[in-house]
């Protein structure tokens, strides 16, 4: 038997391989602090109580048939108000599409604006753009980024690659780094997109900008979220946003995402999502519609969630900075947004106590899983090379006391390397 060329050429998930290693060690009774999954432990971070009550009420009132293809109007109206209130973005309900989380939105954007063989430009590390490009047989142009700019792409990085591209895919706060665009850097990138579209002939397909801001509500300290349309209103005709309640309300399993952008693109995305059947469940939609209108409940929950997430990120960051100060070859970038911390653990070429040479970031990671009971995700899982010794640490599924406890274990394990 054989399968399609597409199926044969898809790359497996490195995160799934790491999860397999963790699960096997847990089965053997080992305690592993698992900072690999971009999710929340719902016992540590339950969804907002009012949202839960509204979901139960929707089921009790038998709201269990098919939802509208583009999402329930009540929810699209609520999302419209929420965007205006929280981000100053003005989108009508017919410019908004609801789906089962953000993944169908991202995939449907690719399908709606990219033809096979056309160029898709995105930075590395970034989440899943390489896989969506593979699914479309698109020409993926992967832009390396640098720790000096917090692994965010700059206009100079992007400029050489935009000519003739169909899509530029960006994310801020960024999965996997938790870092964000500065206002200046995003403005300069926006100006590149505007210039490229002005250079195209009348009737030529424009360059679209996919802007994933699913973590926009989770920012810390003085760090501020920026978006292309607020900075450059003329980009409204070319920018397609990915957003939703999955991360800001710790509601990854509730499956309510919303995309918004030019009406023509949204209309075509609606047809694609409909053919995939990737709708958000109707009870969850009806509940989210009501929840978003209660500004006090929304703000109260966000304030609490952000405080807890920031405490965990700060504890991990400070722990790695202490290790760095002690002479270990590690580093971290201060928490800015999302649920992620960027860690440097640069121990390629070192030898373990049992004589194994750590060749690359994957070897370093598996060593720490076994010897320190701490699991991260190498940036190689997000499109960089194996030689890049930077890692994503996700704090949403691990309690603060476990994060604090893993620091001395990591320090001891790294100190054994020769």
Tens-place pLDDT, residues 117-131:
999 999 999 999 999
**What value does the mean pLDDT take over residues 351-375?**
96
Q: What is the pLDDT of residue 8?
A: 80
Cα 330 to Cα 404: distance, rounded to the nearest angstrom: 17
Strand ranges of the sheet holding 119-124, from the earlier edge strand across to the other edge: 96-99, 257-260, 239-244, 208-212, 167-171, 119-124, 139-144
Q: What is the pLDDT of residue 1?
A: 60
pLDDT one-digit tens code per residue, 279-300: 999 999 999 999 999 999 999 9
Domain 50-294, CATH among 3.40.640.10, 3.40.50.150, 3.40.30.10, 3.20.20.70: 3.40.640.10
Give residue 257's pLDDT band: very low, low, confident or very high (50, 70, 90): very high
Q: Is the pLDDT of residue 65 over 70?
A: yes
Q: What is the pLDDT of residue 14?
A: 75
**What value does the mean pLDDT take over residues 318-341?**
98
Cα 209 to Cα 167: distance, rounded to the nearest angstrom: 6
Residue 14's nearest CA partner among 148, 155, 130 is 130
Q: Are 335 and 220 in contact (CB under 8 A)?
A: yes
pLDDT one-digit tens code per residue, 45-61: 999 999 999 999 999 99
Domain residue ranges in the chain: 5-45+300-415, 50-294
Q: What is the pLDDT of residue 59?
A: 98
Cα 59 to Cα 56: distance, rounded to the nearest angstrom: 5
Q: Is the pLDDT of residue 380 over 80?
A: yes
Q: How far is CA 149 from CA 25, 179, 182, 371, in A?
A: 36, 9, 10, 32
**What value does the mean pLDDT take over residues 1-5?**
81
User: In CATH, what is the architecture of 5-45+300-415?
Assistant: Alpha-Beta Complex (3.90)
pLDDT averaged over the chain? 96
Phi, psi for residue 140 in degrees, rounded to 5: -80, 120
Q: Is the pLDDT of residue 27 over 90?
A: no
pTM: 0.96
């Amino acid at each position: 038997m054989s399968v399609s060329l597409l199926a044969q050429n898809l790359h497996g998930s490195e995160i799934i391989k790491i999860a397999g290693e963790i699960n096997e060690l847990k089965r053997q009774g080992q305690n592993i602090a698992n900072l690999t999954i971009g999710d929340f432990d719902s016992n540590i971070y339950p969804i907002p109580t009012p949202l839960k009550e509204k979901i139960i009420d929707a089921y009790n009132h038998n709201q269990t048939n098919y939802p509208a293809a583009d999402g329930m109007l009540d929810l699209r109206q609520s999302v419209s108000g929420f965007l205006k209130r929280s981000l100053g973005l003005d989108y009508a309900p017919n410019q908004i599409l609801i789906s089962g989380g953000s993944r169908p939105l991202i995939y449907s954007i690719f399908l709606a604006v990219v033809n096979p063989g056309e160029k898709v430009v995105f930075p590395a590390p970034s989440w899943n753009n390489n896989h969506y490009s593979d699914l479309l047989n698109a020409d993926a142009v992967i832009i390396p980024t640098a720790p000096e700019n917090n692994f965010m792409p700059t206009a100079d990085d992007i400029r050489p690659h935009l000519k003739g591209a169909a899509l530029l895919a960006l994310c801020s706060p960024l999965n996997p780094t938790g870092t964000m665009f500065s206002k200046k850097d995003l403005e300069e990138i926006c100006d590149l997109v505007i210039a490229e579209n002005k250079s195209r002939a009348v009737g030529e397909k424009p360059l679209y900008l996919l802007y994933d801001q699913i973590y926009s509500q989770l920012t810390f300290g003085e760090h501020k979220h920026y978006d292309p349309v607020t900075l450059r209103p003329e980009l409204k005709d070319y920018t397609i946003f990915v957003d939703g309640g999955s991360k800001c309300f710790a509601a990854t399993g509730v499956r309510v995402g919303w995309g918004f952008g030019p009406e023509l693109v949204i209309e075509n995305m609606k047809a694609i999502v409909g053919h995939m059947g990737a709708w958000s469940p109707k009870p969850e939609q009806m509940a989210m519609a009501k929840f978003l209108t209660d500004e006090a409940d929304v703000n109260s929950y966000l304030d609490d969630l952000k405080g807890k997430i920031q405490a965990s990120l700060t504890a991990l960051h400070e722990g790695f900075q202490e290790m760095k100060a002690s002479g270990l070859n590690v580093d971290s970038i201060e928490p800015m947004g999302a649920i992620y911390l960027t860690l440097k653990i640069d121990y390629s070429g070192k030898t373990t106590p049992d004589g194994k040479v750590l060749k690359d970031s994957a070897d370093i990671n598996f060593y720490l899983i076994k010897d320190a009971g701490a699991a991260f995700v190498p940036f190689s899982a997000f499109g960089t090379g194996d030689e890049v010794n930077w890692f994503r640490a996700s704090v949403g599924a691990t309690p603060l006391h476990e994060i604090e406890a893993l620091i001395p274990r990591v320090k001891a394990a790294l100190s054994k390397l020769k």
